[in-house]
Structure formats: C-alpha cells, structure tokens
Structure 1
C-alpha cells in the first residue's frame, strides 16, 4: 500500500469528518435516531428490571451504544459506497494513480471517526439524563476501548463488502433485516427475556456481543446476573468479534478489488438507466 496514498486518504477522511459535523442536514441524519432512542429510554428510566436494581433504560443504554457501532459502522460505509458508485465518485477516484487506496482509507477514517463521536456524545448525554452507567477504573476503560475497536473492525469490512455488491434499492431493503437484528440483540431489553432460538440467532451476529461488551464496561458488576450464564463472557466476545473482523478483512479487499476492476463509465450508465426505468 502506497504511503503517499495512505496519507492522502487520512487527510481526506479528516476533511470529510469535519464537513460532516459542519453540515446541518448531516448532523440531523447522524443524531436523529440516537436522540429518539435516548428519548424512549428517558421515559423508561423509572421502570425497573429484575434483581440488579437498575432500570430498563440503564440496562439498555450500553446496548444502544453497541447498536451505533454495529449498525452505523456497517450501514454508513455501505451507503456511501453505493452512492459513490452510482454518481461517478468511485470512477473518478479510480482514474487517479493510487486513487482507490486513498478513497477507501478516507472513507474508513471518516466512518470510524463519525461512529466514535456518536458513541461519545450518546454516552455522555445518556449518563446525564438516565444514569446508571459509569466507566469506573482502568479495567472498565480498557474493556470499553477494545470493544469499540473490535466492534468497528467487525462491522466496517461487512459494510464495505455489501456496499460493493448492492445497489441503492437493495441497500434500502437491507435496513429492515438490520433493524430486526437490533430487536433480537438485547438492545432495549435483556436477551435472556427472548425465546431460546432467538437468543441463539442473536449471538451469531456482532451486534449482541458489542452490546454485551459495552454492558460489561459500563454497568455495575452485579448486573451480570441478567446475562446468559451470568457471565460477561469477555473471551467469547473477543473471539466472535475477532472471527467477524478477520473474515471481513480477508474478504473485503478481494470484493473491493473486483468491484473497482469492473467499474467503468458503461457500468455506471447501465445502473443509471436501470434506476430511471424503475422510476418511470
């Protein structure tokens, strides 16, 4: 990988990140859904759950952070790749020597940066209006850090793969299955309250494990009683997220190279014609 192209990509990612947080519509898109979710949790702040003595909102806040990492890390990169393929941005990057390297580095930096900023803001606001969450001690901070890092490594390559093969319509339709995964991943209610087969299905995907890792870092130790096997299962969390990350990092470059190789003016025109036919 060219060092010059990588530096250009890092600079591009930083510029895109600054533009994102200086644009009103982009800010609304970034924070509207988390704000609604925080509003729902605020209304649930007095509804207690089981033995830990915590409210449903306090238990769900770490899961909300996990969903931001998994959903936004995946879908933001997916969406930008689909749009840039269709409007010619990717084709223009391909025309520049090492332009694809700089393009992908920039998108990864901008996406990961935006997710980290969202997590920090939602965590801060959530701790103020809901409470019950704290990062007490170096161990909690270390857990929080590696869960965020591994979560992004698990989500971003999947977003890149899907963004390389889907069109706008397919990307939109994917939203519903992703929302379904959020529903069964213990975000707004402990996964132990779900039927066994849904618990098993939820544990296949990274979202549950990111949420579990967030809960282990942010909640008091006695909150573990509501988890499966009454354990934070750090080893399993690192293993599942690690498998997703390694698989994604192995597959994503192959799919991205194949997509870039086939990208041309003719393919872009064909996609545009197909979109116009659907519109009329």
Structure 2
C-alpha cells in the first residue's frame, strides 16, 4: 500500500477514536453541551419574537448566524488550540518521527474537529426545527445550501486555524491573540445582522474576511428571499458568495501543508524544552 494512503487511513481511524474519546471526557463534553445549550436557549427565548418592522421570526433570523459562528470560531479555535497543546506535549514531535507521521496526524486532527463541529451544528439545527416553526418551512434546497456552506466553512476554517497555530512562535500567546483577532473580525462581519448599516469602510473591511461571506451564505439558505432586501445590493449575491468561499478554501488548503511542514521541521526536543523553561519562568 502507498505509504501516504496508509498514513491517511490511520489518520481517519485516529480521528474517529479521538472524537469518541471526547464523548467520554467530562471537560470536553461539558464545554460542548454548555455552549450548544446556550445557543438553543437563545432560540427558545426568541421563538415568539419577530425582526422589528418585518414578519420574519427573530429566532429564524438568528439561527444562520449561530451556525456560521460555530463553524468559523469552533473550527478555527479548535485547530489553533489543538496545535498549541500538541506542540507543547510532544505529540507533533512524535508524529514527525514516524514515516508519513504528519500526514496521519493532520488527517486525524481534521476528522476529529470536523465531526465535533458537524455534530454540534446538527444538534442546533434540529433544535431550530423543533422550536421555530419558520425553520420547518425551509425547503430541501435551502438545507442543501446549509450543508454545502458547512463543508466549505470547515474546509477553510480548519486549515486557516492550523496556519495561524503553526506561525505562532509561542503556542500559549498564539491562542489568546487568535481569540482576540477572531472576536474583532466576527464583530464587524455581520454574522447576526446585515452589514448594510455599517460605515462604508467597515463594509469593505468586513467583506475582506471569509466570516462575512459564511454568514451571508447561511442566511441565503435559511431565510426567505424577501430578507435579501436588507443585504448589500439587495440580494444574496449567490454566485459571488460561493466564489469567495471556494477561493478561500482553495487558498487555505494550498497554504496549510507547506506551512505545517515548515513548522514540523523546526520542532525539536530542545525547542520544546526551551518553551517549557520560558513558561515556568513566567509562572515563577
């Protein structure tokens, strides 16, 4: 068997095992349950409200943003956090020492994070169908758009998170900086609202990041056509939206492997020990 394919197959198996281990980890499971329950609670509290000036359900308008946020933030931070931890505990160093070990490691990490993200999204979507009558009216084509957007979102978010984590010289500070950056980008990207009310320069800045297009694509699949009137240009800009998302996906997938290989080449026992010593000095 081809060594790369064999490593990828082992990575698939490892990713599934890691996901099942998350289901038995109290801390991992608690975080997922609490965050998912919080979003479901928001939908429940908004179930009888409407967007001011319209007859659009407020819960139905919130749901696309919730799903887009979980994809972007969950996948990005999940990849950054996992890479940071595993650079510190020697997992990457051990993977590097094995034949095609990095291939198996990356495949495993992508599988475990993807399955976790999809599971959370599925639970929230089901809750939306149960709690919000307007969500039950979404046609099959709309759910197909949601599924496609979810796949694209994961495909560009995970590699971007891996790139950010790999470029960070300090794994601990990298996670914190990434959280602040993602929070700033998300706040102007109109995840929960159209950005047409923002200043012109902020609209341009928001459109430079994929988070805006992810939210727009989710809204196009889950909201009625009349809701597009609030968007830029008064339409969903479907062709442009998916072109941008595909472009980000292609760029992220092309850049991630060489960046990760470069990071792996620089990993060594001495480098890991130096980071440990610096961390201990900060504590003391």
TM interval, shorter chain, is: over 0.9
1:182 matched to 2:200: no
Q: Say yes or no: does 1:273 pair with 2:269.
A: no
Q: Which runs of 5+ in 2 are unaligned?
A: none
Q: Mark the CA change 1:77 to 1:204 in structure 2 (over 3 Å): closer, same or farther.
A: same
Distance 1:184 1:39 in 2: 24
Choose 22-31 or 154-163, whichever is displaced more: 22-31
Among 32, 37, 45, the residue aligned to 1:30: 32
Per-residue displacement from partner, 1:155-196 (whole Å, max 9, x unpaired)? 111011011122112212321221222222222333223333
- 1:216-231 to structure 2, matched below 5 A, reads 216-231=220-235
The offset of 1:131, in angstroms, is: 4.1
Asked if 1:21 corresponds to 2:23, the answer is: yes
Query: Counterpart of 2:134 in 1: which secondary structure?
Result: coil
- Select the residue among 257, 265, 275 that pairs with 1:253: 257
For the residue of structure 2 that corresponds to 1:174, the secondary structure is helix
The equivalences for 1:1-280 within 5 A come to: 2-134=4-136, 136-166=138-168, 167-280=171-284
Instruction: String of CA shifts for 1:10-38, please: whole Å, max 9, x gaps.
Output: 00011111111232211122242343233
Report the Cα offset of residue 272 of structure 1: 0.6
**Matches of 1:79 and 1:135, distance apart in 2:** 37
Q: Normalization by structure 2: what TM-score?
A: 0.91
CA distance in 2, matches of 1:110, 1:180: 27
Q: TM-score, normalised by structure 1?
A: 0.92
The size of the alignment, in residue pairs, is: 280
For residues 200 and 133 of structure 2, the distance between their equivalents in structure 1, rounded to whole angstroms, comes to: 30
Rounded to whole Å, the distance in 1 between the matches of 2:38 and 2:184 is 18
What CA deviation, in whole Å up to 9, does each residue of 1:71-130 have, x standing for no partner?
Answer: 111110111011000111111111222111111100011111111111111111133234
**Are 2:194 and 2:232, in contact at CA under 8 Å, matched by a contact in 1?**
no
Report the more deviating stretch, 36-45 or 153-162. Answer: 36-45
Question: By how many angstroms is 1:253 displaced?
Answer: 0.8
1:134 positional shift: 4.0
DSSP 3-state at the match of 2:208: coil
Q: In 2 relative to 1, CA 38–177 (structure 1 residues): closer, same or farther, beyond 3 Å?
A: farther
